Amino acid sequence: MSPRVQRRRFVRHLGTALAAACAAAPWLLHAAAPPWPNRPVRLIVVYPPGGVSDGMARALAEPLAQALGVPVLIENRAGAGGSVGMDALARSAPDGCTLAFSAISPLTLHPLLARVPYDALRGFAPVASVMRTPVLVVGTPAFAGRSFDDLIAMARSQPGAVRWATSGVATIGHMVLAQVRMQSRTEITHIPYQGGGPQLNDALSAQFEVLSTNVAAQQLQYIESGRLRALAVGAPARIEALPSVPTLAELGFEKANRDSLFGIFAPARTHTAVVQRLHAEINRLLRTEPLRARLRDAYNIPAGGSIEDFAQEIAIDRRRNRALVTGDRSQFD
């Protein structure tokens, strides 16, 4: 038998042996996942303590810790509308032991407005969408009007006099303001904060006229007591807690009628098996009644769905924001 024929037979037998081994053990086709979790998981909340997102992250952390068998430790890293916390995540080891809870705006809007220290397209692995939060536009004690129409009329008659606070630059509340300013062709002064908790205190003390915030029980209590006045809501339909308050779409501001999508993210290059395990556990928890009740009590809408669906929503939001920003960038000043 010639050497060439021997080599051909060896290669053929080797290929057959490898195929049989891979069929018996599919994991040989992929890099083995590292032991995980082998220590506490750090969950970065990219907003200050006391806000809606912080509360829901803490509500998720406890049952997630039980599911994973290790503590899930909350670390608040607020600033720049979530960009500070997401930068901390991007700099973390992709070992599944550091995650972040954030709205998608640090990935879909912030990079369109300013330079960010992370790669918004390739720096993160979407793990699971957790919740949607309606946006509430309210008048503070400094606002003399009674309706959203009064707000627009005041902004037109007194350019720049109306001060509208949000939880930060490039947050969903800022996007609502930007779209309202663009469509109404008014000058409204933007007052950015670093999260939802601090701005509510200043709203009650009349430091500005208008506030856009996530719907939450505390805000609704202040509305019921008359300390704040609900003007509009950003949601697919009127919310049950405020049936007489119109959506922004009903008021003619359809493009401003947006809610916040929050989810869990991991650093890029986190092992696929780890991401899939986290995704499965979080989606399972989102189907449990205790967590769903907690979401409903905080006026949030459970999200869920596949990793691919979450990634697609991020991509769609990025395209929509790019169209808005390139339309008139000055509206985001």
Alpha-carbon separation of residue 159 from 104, 137, 173, 309 (angstroms): 32, 19, 20, 42
Query: Percent of the chain beyond pLDDT 90?
Result: 66
User: What does the alpha-carbon distance between residue 325 and residue 332 come to, in Å, rounded to a whole number?
Assistant: 8
Angle at 40 (CA atoms; ends 59, 72), nearest 5 degrees: 5
pLDDT of 25-38, one tens digit each? 444 434 555 689 99
Whether 135-258 and 42-133+262-329 are alike in CATH topology: the answer is yes
1 has a pLDDT exceeding 60: no
The predicted model scores a pTM of 0.75
The pLDDT score that the predictor gives to residue 2 is 57
* Mean pLDDT value of segment 233-256: 93
pLDDT of 182-200, one tens digit each? 999 999 999 998 766 788 9
* Mean pLDDT value of segment 240-253: 95
Strand 135-139, strand 301-302: pairing: unpaired
**CA dihedral sign of residues 245, 247, 251, 256:** positive
E strand or H helix that includes residue 128: strand 124-133
Measured distance between the N- and C-terminal CA atoms of the chain, rounded to whole angstroms = 80
User: What does the alpha-carbon distance between residue 79 and residue 170 come to, in Å, rounded to a whole number?
Assistant: 11
22 has a pLDDT exceeding 50: no
Q: What are the DSSP E strand ranges found in 142-259?
A: 163-166, 189-192, 210-214, 229-234
Residues in the chain: 333
**What are the boundaries of each domain within the chain?**
42-133+262-329, 135-258
The pLDDT score that the predictor gives to residue 332 is 57
Residue owning tokens 């503070």: 140
Arithmetic mean of pLDDT over the chain: 88
User: What does the alpha-carbon distance between residue 26 and residue 214 come to, in Å, rounded to a whole number?
Assistant: 46
* Mean pLDDT value of segment 208-212: 97
23 has a pLDDT exceeding 50: no
The pLDDT score that the predictor gives to residue 330 is 57
Of the segments 259-263, 282-286, 318-322, which one has the largest average pLDDT value?
282-286
Domain 42-133+262-329: what homologous superfamily?
Bordetella uptake gene, domain 1 (3.40.190.150)
Q: Could you tell me the two tokens for 85?
A: 């916390």
Domain 135-258 belongs to what architecture?
3-Layer(aba) Sandwich (3.40)
* Mean pLDDT value of segment 109-114: 89
The DSSP-derived string for 268-295 is TT--HHHHHHHHHHHHHHHTSHHHHHHH
Report CA 302 to chain centroid distance, whole Å: 13
Q: Give the largest Cα separation in the chain, rounded.
A: 99
DSSP lists the bridge partners of residue 133 as 260
User: What does the alpha-carbon distance between residue 131 and residue 109 come to, in Å, rounded to a whole number?
Assistant: 19
Strand 210-214, strand 135-139: pairing: antiparallel
pLDDT of 168-182, one tens digit each? 877 788 889 999 999
The pLDDT score that the predictor gives to residue 18 is 40
131 has a pLDDT exceeding 70: yes
98 has a pLDDT exceeding 80: yes
The pLDDT score that the predictor gives to residue 14 is 43
